[in-house]
Structure 1
Amino acid sequence: MRLQHEKRHATTVIATAALSAHRFVGYNGAHASATAGGGADSQGVSETAAHVGAAVAVVTGYSYLVEASAAIADNAFVKPAADGSGRAVVGSITDHCGRALAAATAAGQLIEVEILKHVHP
């Protein structure tokens, strides 16, 4: 499997919690959450891991590699997992922050995700 991405835009975020690479990151500097809203909504995807207080690049434009929390079908809407890990799970047309551009068959796999504005019902 070939892993790819097309990073067009990124911003610098100061981590307010330990961050893992390839995870959805909220505006609050922690892993994004599908249930919290507000500052915990996904701003983008972390390029690298970061400890509290460290600066990390967060990809906000077009696509980046995201770690899956479970199997995800190609073209499925995705959102951050409810467990606060920032990993991707299947979303819906009314609750998502990206779209899978490849399939994941199991948790832990990296898939290319088109980054979209976080949408809630």
Structure 2
Amino acid sequence: MSSQNNSGLQHQKDDAVTVVATAVIAVNRIVAYDGAYATAAGGVHDAQGVSEMDGAIGDAISVVTEYSYLVECSEAIAFGAYVKPATDGTGRGAVGTLADHCGRALGATASAGQLFEMQIVKHIHA
């Protein structure tokens, strides 16, 4: 697994917020403002950041909101690719586009279930 300047897994957490989970949340998943997994639905369903821990409904969890964090992928992702939440509703990262993304891949994956470093950006929908 390649990464920006390091062949191993890395991240650079600058900021995080506490979110009350409104769904069961797994670690390393893209989380929305409403406390569930992020989707492409917009508004409160947009990506706020990446979960640092697992959480049950009602748990307060830490969500990394600035620079980068490790994300589980739903498919192979190339270094530098745009990343968006997977359409299956799991909060895993999927290949995005210039018009629909919430991050950039600072590492690469070969198959679903692997972790990669994602630079977190404001969720974009054109």
Q: TM class by shorter-chain length?
A: over 0.9
Q: What is the TM-score normalised by the length of structure 1?
A: 0.97
| Aligned partner of 2:86 among 69, 81, 84 | 81
Q: What is the TM-score normalised by the length of structure 2?
A: 0.93
Report the number of matched residues: 120
Structure 1 residue aligned with 2:5: none
| Aligned partner of 2:49 among 40, 44, 48 | 44
Structure 1 residue aligned with 2:4: none
Q: Percent identity?
A: 58
Instruction: Measure, in 2, the Cα distance between the counterparts of 1:48 and 1:3.
Output: 17
Aligned AA (1:7): K
Q: Tell me whether 1:27 sits opposite 2:30 in the alignment.
A: no
- 1:72-112: CA deviation from partner (whole Å, max 9, x where unpaired): 00000000011110000000111100000011100000000
Q: Which runs of 5+ in 1 are unaligned?
A: none
Structure 2 residue aligned with 1:57: 62
Q: Tell me whether 1:12 sits opposite 2:21 in the alignment.
A: no
Task: State the superposition RMSD in angstroms.
Answer: 0.7
- 1:35-67: CA deviation from partner (whole Å, max 9, x where unpaired): x11111000000011000000000000000000
Instruction: Measure, in 2, the Cα distance between the counterparts of 1:32 and 1:94.
Output: 16
